[in-house]
Amino acid sequence: MTEIVDMLARRGRLEQAFIGGDWVTPQGQATCEVVNPATEAALCRIRLGTAADVDRAVTAAASAFPGWSDSAPATRAALLARIETLMDAQAETLAECMSLEMGAARSYARSAQVPLAMAHVRTAREVLEGFEFQSPRGTTAIRHEPIGVCALITPWNWPLYQITAKLAPALAAGCCVVLKPSELAPLSALLLADLIAEAGCPPGVFNLVQGDGPGVGAALAAHPGVDMISITGSTRAGIEVARAAAPTLKRVTQELGGKSPNLLLPDADLARAVPPGVAAAMRNLGQSCSAPTRMIVPRAALPQVEDLAREAVAQIVVGDPFDPKATHGAIANRAQFDRIQTMIGVGIDEGARLVTGGPGRPDGRETGFFVRPTVFSDVRTDMRIAQEEIFGPVLCLIPYDDVDEAVRIANDTRFGLGAHVQGTDPAQARAVAGRIRAGQVHLNYPAWDPHAPFGGYKQSGNGREYGREGMLEYLEVKSILGFYAPAAS
């Protein structure tokens, strides 16, 4: 076992849930093996919670809610500031943890997984510090009040980032939470829980119960004491949570699957547009719901785009996550590795032309969930590889003949999470962005903006995360009519 796993084991964290401000033993006996994706060896086993543990956590959160919801915004902002400071102090440990549990290259965990997670905490504090919880509209007072107890269900691909994207705005709004991280990548959540406790979070405001979807996830979704559930995961998982939540009419926000387009307009500078597009599609080894894995290109430019894509992929170094030379590590788990291999085979069988990559592991890799970054060309929009979320480093080059066709291809998907548009004419790029049915569109690879709301159209979910809109999801709106009426004479 590594030092991080040893430390968590010594503290007893692998066998515990965090409920009501204390680390406690779950009531069930079920466990889950945590596997190192780079070696396929077991790191440890964690103990899973049960519906009874969910009930304990929800009860603790409900008990803490009156005090936390009534706390001053400055008090909540101060807690977020302390959490961010502690995360920064433990950034190296958190990064190493994610390299172990989900295979991210250490360089990427350091440069993206941890700092972007911290950015969500900072952004929630900034939103809170400028937020008016009550404002006049004529003689009516419009109040924003915390919704209550929130269940947060987070995935394995960005294990820390996805937690803070939900947790920070929920705490800022004055809600109490029960977190269920992915049982496949649970270790960074345990480290974060210790930091939250160290930051002085009041008992019951934050709770953590390990578990799988059918067990703990379903119990949270159905629990009558949960006022809201926020899930990031597959469309299938989002549907199951919504079904379980329906009888209690709780609010459900979902950030689900994607098949994002990257539309290169006829005037795009290909040398500037293609390499960053390949990098964006391959970031986190394609294990990002908003990864732009459909590059839609002018038909006449297809040969040049293929050459540029091939050159860009050649710069990717897939290897041991702890190798300083590795730009990309391993796929997070066996099921996802198998899914990617299957879909590469599907692309070949469908008649798409392989530009680079293909099935199997990279040369020299006999074990570990390592995959070959793959680019297909001459992809038709009706092919499975153009329609289904592969969730791996597989890029589809889809040619078009005119801009109207390009927009139709971009929208020819059941998803609508993210999109990219590249072009040198700002007016045309903005106009095309307005025609794409997606919750977030990037023009010419702008810098990431943690204040920009993020969420999907269609089967990519509902609700928004990040920034002001992200915090609004955790607030109810109350109107008090006559609040500002003149006093009776």
pLDDT digit string, tens, across residues 350-373:
999 999 999 999 999 999 999 999
Round to whole Å and give the CA distance between 98 and 85.
19
Known catalytic residues are: 255, 289
Task: Concatenate the DSSP letters of all residues of 208-223 into one string.
Answer: E----IIIIIHHHHH-
Please check whether residues 468 and 417 belong to one and the same domain.
no
Please check whether residues 309 and 438 belong to one and the same domain.
yes
Q: What is the mean pLDDT of residues 372-391?
A: 98
Q: What is the CATH number of the domain that holds 435?
A: 3.40.309.10
Q: What is the mean pLDDT of residues 472-476?
A: 98
pLDDT score at 165: 98
Please check whether residues 185 and 205 belong to one and the same domain.
yes
Q: Give the chain's mean pLDDT.
A: 97
Please check whether residues 337 and 388 belong to one and the same domain.
yes
Helix (H, G, I), strand (E, B) or coil at 312: helix
Round to whole Å and give the CA distance between 30 and 199.
31
Exposed e or buried b per residue across 141-160, where buried means at least 16 C-beta atoms within 10 angstroms of its C-beta: bbbbebbbbbbbbbbbbbbb
Read off the tokens for 186: 């649970």
Helix (H, G, I), strand (E, B) or coil at 17: strand
Tell me: pLDDT of 468 over 70. Answer: yes
Please check whether residues 427 and 280 belong to one and the same domain.
yes
Whether the Cβ atoms of residue 109 and residue 287 lie closer than 8 Å to each other: no
Q: What is the pLDDT of residues 262-308, one digit of tens each?
A: 999 999 999 999 999 999 999 999 999 999 999 999 999 999 999 99
Residue of 474, 466, 436 whose CA lies nearest to 450: 466
Please check whether residues 306 and 397 belong to one and the same domain.
yes
Q: What is the pLDDT of residues 20-49, one digit of tens each?
A: 999 999 999 999 999 999 999 999 999 999
Please check whether residues 324 and 244 belong to one and the same domain.
no
Neighbour count for residue 412 (Cβ, 10 Å): 16
In a domain, 74, yes or no: yes
In the chain the first and final C-alpha atoms are separated, in Å, by 76
Round to whole Å and give the CA distance between 460 and 462.
7
Tally the domains of the chain.
2
Share of the chain above pLDDT 70, in %: 100
Please check whether residues 179 and 312 belong to one and the same domain.
no
pLDDT band at 2 (very low <50, low <70, confident <90, very high): confident
In a domain, 456, yes or no: no
In a domain, 489, yes or no: no
pTM of the shown model: 0.97
Sign of CA dihedral 66, 69, 72, 74: positive
Residues 6+ apart with CB under 8 A from 464: 253, 439, 453, 454, 455, 470, 472, 473
Please check whether residues 352 and 241 belong to one and the same domain.
no
Q: Are strands 149-153 and 140-146 parallel, antiparallel or unpaired?
A: unpaired
Tell me: pLDDT of 1 over 70. Answer: no
Find the Cα–Cα–Cα–Cα dihedral 377, 382, 384, 387, rounded to 10°: 100
pLDDT score at 487: 84
In a domain, 237, yes or no: yes
Please check whether residues 404 and 465 belong to one and the same domain.
no
pLDDT score at 488: 75
Question: CA distances (Å), 57 to each of 26, 147, 238, in order?
Answer: 11, 17, 22
In a domain, 194, yes or no: yes
pLDDT band at 250 (very low <50, low <70, confident <90, very high): very high
Domain boundaries, position 107 = 3-256+461-478
Please check whether residues 447 and 474 belong to one and the same domain.
no
Q: What is the pLDDT of residues 413-463, one digit of tens each?
A: 999 999 999 999 999 999 999 999 999 999 999 999 999 999 999 999 999
Q: What is the pLDDT of residues 57-90, one digit of tens each?
A: 999 999 999 999 999 999 999 999 999 999 999 9
Q: What is the CATH number of the domain that holds 64?
A: 3.40.605.10
Q: What amino acid is encoded at 236 in this protein? A: R
Tell me: pLDDT of 382 over 90. Answer: yes
Tell me: pLDDT of 213 over 70. Answer: yes
pLDDT score at 489: 66
In a domain, 52, yes or no: yes
Please check whether residues 251 and 273 belong to one and the same domain.
no
Share of the chain above pLDDT 90, in %: 99
In a domain, 392, yes or no: yes
CA 7 to chain centre: 27
In a domain, 483, yes or no: no
* Strand extents, DSSP E, 278-410: 294-298, 353-356, 374-377, 394-400
